[in-house]
Structure 1
């Protein structure tokens, strides 16, 4: 099997500007529906949100999802029915395992807009007890290397503590890596063994760090390649990737600015 890379251009994502919220949806979400982009393996939601100060998502319910927020800039206030209240900032990763049901709110805290990615995974098992975790990863931990920030809860050395070093635990076959890749730098990624067949899936997303842009993608430039397949991405762009376990993918910064990149290994 050769590497398969299918583009998901930024401007083709679901997009809405509500004034208080500017949002992009990689997969079907809310009023955006596209049967070709419903989910990818256990990855169900990948929203890139910008929320204006003193506004946000009021208290609402979730169940049977693994929900995590990756903070790019600004501060996000999280409150939930488990008694958690936390102000999240750049580098923070917050995970809520909704399980049998939780209620939470997410609001912009402080004087500036908050920019974050909200990501949902489908759990491998239903009826789990709700749980909450936070992790922090500095820019230095991500600079020109892959930082593993989310990993399956049953993987070795993944802590179940509310706050700890290392990746946040997720009850799904999903691993999430993040990097801040400098110009002219490259990073390989080897596809791990798959438990459900001969192919392994990944999804890559270039964060839209240089500003909200609903038009053709611009900003940082990244080249993704493997075997005979190659694709150039810019901020907001993503790509579906499929390959054999043990095969390598190469991610290169071919532009002149730092690229913030998320890479999902999923089944």
Structure 2
């Protein structure tokens, strides 16, 4: 089963400095029928204007993955971590028992991110933050796990959730396959380009909520970049 969520129909907000689209209920957008997809709780498509961003604010008991599509985001938190994550790189914050952080676009041009929140398997614990480069050239034509709480995904950034986050870039006509457990909750969004997933067309920045599929065959209808979450 593949439920398409067209980008044009997503909830959202325009704050001037921030243009946000929400794949699931978030902030002032609330739809009781669209709160989560398994352990996947938030998928925000954010465009942040230059020299603006989110001032320090708290989080707890959430795994927060930031996938940078364009530009760069600069992070600072109450643990003393500081870092700049640019397109092709990923950052992960395990909020644990509680952390405060800020996220700013200090670049001269717009920054575009996906921010993904996944519910952790345990509450509390020491908060952590980390980032890692995953150059797009290294994941061309194949799905690469960029964050994971599943045993065996040793090269990925660690999260405290029964989930993994994968990404790939595909040239037009290329395909990638993913072996899925039918009981899992999969969610796929092309950051750029149109794709076909098991015969269903998914355009850039549309969402596809997937259940009861044993295998995903993803074919690029044009040059594409996509992110996939596989969650409990």
What TM-score do the two structures reach when normalised by structure 1?
0.84
Find the counterpart in structure 1 of residue 200 from structure 2.
231
Whether contact under 8 Å (1:87, 1:109) holds in the other structure is no
Q: Which runs of 5+ in 2 are unaligned?
A: none
Q: 1:263 matched to which residue of 2? A: 228
Name the SS for the 1:11 alignment partner. Answer: helix
User: Is 1:204 the counterpart of 2:169 in the alignment?
Assistant: no
SS in structure 1 of the partner of residue 33 of structure 2: helix
What is the distance in 1 between the residues matched to 2:183 and 2:151?
A: 20
2:102 is matched with which residue? Answer: 105
CA distance in 1, matches of 2:153, 2:63: 20
1:141 Cα deviation after fit: 1.4
**Structure 1: 4+ residue segments shifted above 3 A:** none
Match of 1:145 in 2: 142
Residue 264 of structure 1 aligns to a residue whose secondary structure is strand
What is the correspondence of 1:96-135 to structure 2 with a 5 Å cutoff?
Answer: 96-135=93-132
In 2, the alpha carbon distance for the partners of 1:145 and 1:33 equals 35
Counterpart selection for 1:222 from 184, 190, 195: 195
Q: How many residues align?
A: 232
Match of 2:152 among 129, 139, 156: 156
Could you say which residue in structure 2 is the equivalent of 1:182?
Answer: 171
Instruction: Indicate if the aligned counterparts of 2:145 and 2:153 stay in contact, CA closer than 8 A.
Output: no
Residue aligning to 1:242: 211
1:110 deviates by 1.9
- Richer in strand (by share): 2
Q: Report the 3-state secondary structure (helix = DSSP H, G, I; strand = E; otherwise coil) of the residue aligned with 2:24.
A: coil
Q: In the aligned structure 2, how far is the partner of 1:96 from the partner of 1:125?
A: 15
How far apart are the structure 1 equivalents of 2:217 and 2:67?
Answer: 23
CA distance in 2, matches of 1:156, 1:184: 30
State the Cα deviation string for residues 132-163 of structure 1 (Å, max 9, x = none). Answer: 111110011121111110111x51353xxxxx
Q: 2:185 & 2:49 partners in 1: Cα distance?
A: 34
| CA RMSD in angstroms, aligned pairs only | 1.3
Instruction: Tell me which residue corresponds to 1:28.
Output: 25
User: 1:201 deviation in Å?
Assistant: 2.0
| Alignment gaps of 5+ in structure 1 | 159-165, 193-197, 210-219
